[in-house]
Chains A and B, each alone.
Chain A
Amino acid sequence: MIVADRKSLDEILNMLKPYKKVLLLGCNECVTVCATGGEREVGVLASELRLFRAKEGEEIEIREQTLERQCDHEYIDQVGPFVGDYEVILSMACGAGIQFVAEKYKDKTVLPAVNTTFLGVTLEQGVWSERCQGCGECVLHLTGGICPIARCAKSLLNGPCGGSSSGKCEVDKDLDCAWQLIVDRLKALNQLDKYEEIIPIKDWRTSRDGGPRKRIREDLKL
């Protein structure tokens, strides 16, 4: 899932300073699962904003709306009938959702209420961890299912580096060295021969270095 963090209330309040009528949009997908921007978090943020404005003796009208997704036309179209009643849209979706809402409602200011952070997994209730950077050329078959791009601080393809100590990364003593994990896993799988292979220099054009990416499936187009 895409993981995000809520922005601080201060930052959100600063962005909202000039506005009195706010459409607060949550998203039922990834940000709901990582407890950042789902219906519940929309409720909490709306309540925080109302309490703050009331404390300051200022007005605010908030419509809380959580869409199935903010990255698909059909769902963001649903706010069309009433979006005009509000001065600003505050979105709690990931960066993709926020931008798509802004693309759709061009005459509206769209503000982000979250910082989108990474593609990750739920390690346990309340703990999320990064697993993928969407580099566009997966090497997991070579590395025992552990990604050296996302999980090694240096994204080394042939590690570990000298900063690996007792299985931990020099960047953070609580962070596992990805290459230690890879070697351990390959050993366990009896595939250590894969570690002997030098992985060639990566073509980063498939990642962000090639500019924004687009995927097209002609057979699915209408």
Chain B
Amino acid sequence: MRLNYPTNVKIVKVPCTGRVDALLILKTFESGVDGVYLAGCLEGECHFLKGNLRAKKRVQYVKGLLEEIGLGSGRVEMYNMSSAQGQRFAEVAREMTEKIRALGPSPVKKKV
């Protein structure tokens, strides 16, 4: 497909978005990232049944934590796409990059 997506998006592979918990997301912010999004399988199509639905709830929870910390809830998002939707993957990468760019750099960047 030779699709392009912004080079600022770094991929961390996990076996399922159900692997991702609040601490993992917070740690990435501690390492200085500006935003995090989870690219899970389509709802109802989780190979492990509910992994992506669990991830969705955890993202909501982390949004609350980020709001409390003062980083803003918009810096973390959940997206769903199938492994066959390369086009959608690239589109989401651009969308999230634009969104985070509009929010500006994380205020904790390089201070942790």
Which residues of A pack against B, CB within 8 Å? 8-10, 40, 43-44, 47-48, 50-52, 54-55, 57
Q: Which residues of A contact B112 (CB under 8 A)?
A: 50-51, 54
Given A47-B30, A50-B112 in contact, is the A55-B23 Cβ separation under 8 Å?
no
Check A10 against B68 for contact (C-beta < 8 Å): yes
Check B70 against A52 for contact (C-beta < 8 Å): yes
Q: Which residues of B contact A48 (CB under 8 A)?
A: 26, 65, 68-69
Check A55 against B107 for contact (C-beta < 8 Å): yes
Check A44 against B23 for contact (C-beta < 8 Å): yes
Whether a CB of chain A sits under 8 angstroms from the CB of B89 is no
Determine the interface band of chain B, counting residues with CB < 8 A from chain A: 10 to 19
Q: A57 vs B27: C-alpha distance in the bound complex, in angstroms?
A: 18
Whether a CB of chain A sits under 8 angstroms from the CB of B42 is no
Check B23 against A51 for contact (C-beta < 8 Å): no
Q: Name the one of B22, B26, B27, B69 contacting A55, with C-beta atoms under 8 angstroms.
A: B69
Chain A, residue nearest B29 (CB) = A51
Interface CB pairs A-B, < 8 A, 19:
A9-B65, A9-B69, A10-B68, A43-B23, A44-B23, A47-B26, A47-B27, A48-B26, A48-B65, A48-B68, A51-B108, A51-B112, A52-B69, A54-B30, A55-B69, A55-B70, A55-B71, A55-B108, A57-B111
